[in-house]
Amino acid sequence: MTDASIDPADPSDRDEHWARRAAELALRGEGLVEPNPMVGCVVVREGRLVGEGWHERFGGPHAEVNALNAAGEGARGATLYVSLEPCCHTGKTPPCTDAILAAGVTRVVAAVADPFPQVAGGGIHRLRAAGVVCELGPGAEPARRVLAPYLKRLATGRPWVIAKWAMTLDGKIATASGDSKWISGEASRAIVQRLRGRMDAIVVGRRTAQLDNPLLIARPPGPRVAARVVVGPIAPDCRLMETIADAPVIVVARSAEEEAACAKLGSLGADVVCLDNDDRVPVVTRLVELLGARGMTNVLVEGGGVLLGSMFDARLVDEAHVFVATKLIGGAGAPSPMGGAGQGTIAAGARLVDAVIEQVEGDVYIRGRLGDGEASSAGA
């Protein structure tokens, strides 16, 4: 087995090897650093790893500083690999470029340039001006996968949207009578709880809120407490409102009439937002833009079929997590995961471009990112 702390045998693989390690480390900050990007860093001297780190929490030291602290004097004359261009401005922490120069690093390899306006190439420029050799690009593919939610939010102002559902082998999310507990097994539901625990918001439709009366709170708690978002009015005595002290509730009214019907919810602490009907822009698009404007990076859409169908029709979904139970319930009136208008041809449908399929006890867990039809790619 190759020692991960030593350069690979083939020198041509060296930069890619360490850059991929930096991207792996970045994922350890998932759910802890947003809206900052997840970033990882390794410091290598004379072919050996002397320090590594990652951005561990929002407001805390960046990955470069943590890796340099771990390396100590070993950083002098070393190469620093980082999954995102080092920052060159003072935010909640001092510039990482200053820390790199003070440590005596002589070469920096950054996988991806940072489009953040206060960096945007400035970090590389600052280091080069000080005599540090800089390269951009090795390890870009895995780094971009990790950074995708951050890069999307900067480019579009919208959060990364994840669709999740559980269905039977015959493609039903509930029986014709509305019973849906439980389609998936306990192990699958535990995965969903972990997913919820790193979200900024969890979105459901009004009918799902009525039929399931969910809490939408991660159990056990994760690193983040998601806002619970319902499209349409809900009952004042539902579990979402009863637990509003534990997690915020946003109720989206789609008309002035719905907004009036939500007046009591507002008096009980819910954030009632009215997105008036506008045939030019779907409500779900304006909802996603609203959540992005509130600084949210990751949003989970849990259904039901009407909401999920609207999200897919508007091409808003970036990633899907699907749990398929080995159960058959039938029923012409039993709902499927997605309603909406749908696509006119198979070729026009979205598809998973990097699907991972695994068995979780009695269920099949399928997850991946979405692309558009036959021309799809990994995207951001």
| Amino acid at residue number 352 | L
CB atoms within 10 A of CB 332: 5
Could you tell me if 138 and 207 lie in one domain?
no
What pLDDT is recorded for position 13? 84
The answer to whether residue 162 is domain-embedded is yes
The one-letter amino acid code at 322 reads V
Report the binding-site residues for Zn(2+). 62, 87, 96
Question: Do 101 and 167 lie in a common domain?
Answer: no
| pLDDT, tens only, 104-150 | 999 999 999 999 998 988 999 999 999 999 999 999 999 999 999 99
Domain boundary among 150, 179, 208: 150
Q: Establish if 333 belongs to a structural domain.
A: yes
pTM confidence score: 0.90
Catalytic residue list contains 289: no
Residues 229 and 368 in one domain: yes
Give yes or no: residues 22 and 39 share one domain. yes
User: How does pLDDT run across 225-274, given as a tens digit for each residue?
Assistant: 999 999 999 999 999 999 999 999 999 998 888 899 899 999 999 999 99
Question: Does one domain contain both 79 and 121?
Answer: yes
Is residue 169 domain-shared with residue 122, that is, in the same domain? no
- Return the H-helix or E-strand segment holding 167: strand 160-167
Residues in the chain: 380
Range of the domain at 277: 157-375
pLDDT for residue 375: 36
| Domain containing residue 87: CATH number | 3.40.140.10
pLDDT in tens, 323-374: 999 999 999 999 899 888 888 888 888 889 889 999 999 999 999 999 764 4
Residues within the annotated binding site?
62, 87, 96, 166, 180, 182, 196, 208, 212, 216, 219, 302, 304-310
> What is the reported pLDDT for 66?
97
Mean pLDDT, rounded, of the chain: 91
Q: 180 in a domain, yes or no?
A: yes
Binding-site residue positions for NADP(+)? 166, 182, 208, 212, 304-310
Rounded distance between C-alpha atoms, residue 27 and residue 100, angstroms: 22
The number of distinct structural domains making up the chain is 2
Domain end residue (candidates: 86, 120, 150): 150
Q: Which of 16, 34, 52, 64 is catalytic?
A: 64
Residue keyed to tokens 């759910």: 31
Does residue 166 sit within a domain? yes
> Do residue 64 and residue 189 come from a single domain?
no
| Cβ-based burial of 330 (10 A; exposed 0-12, middle 13-18, buried ≥19) | exposed
Q: HSE on the CB side for 76, CA within 13 Å?
A: 2
Domain end among 123, 150, 177:
150
For 352, the enclosing helix (H) or strand (E) is: strand 350-352
> Over the Cα atoms of the chain, what is R_g?
23
Same domain, 231 and 83: no
Residues 161 and 146 in one domain: no
Tokens of residue 206, six digits: 């009004």
Do the beta carbons of residue 241 and residue 234 sit within 8 Å? yes
Strand partners, 205: 231
Q: How confident is the model at residue 278 (pLDDT cuts 50, 70, 90)?
A: low
Same domain for 212 and 137, yes or no, is no
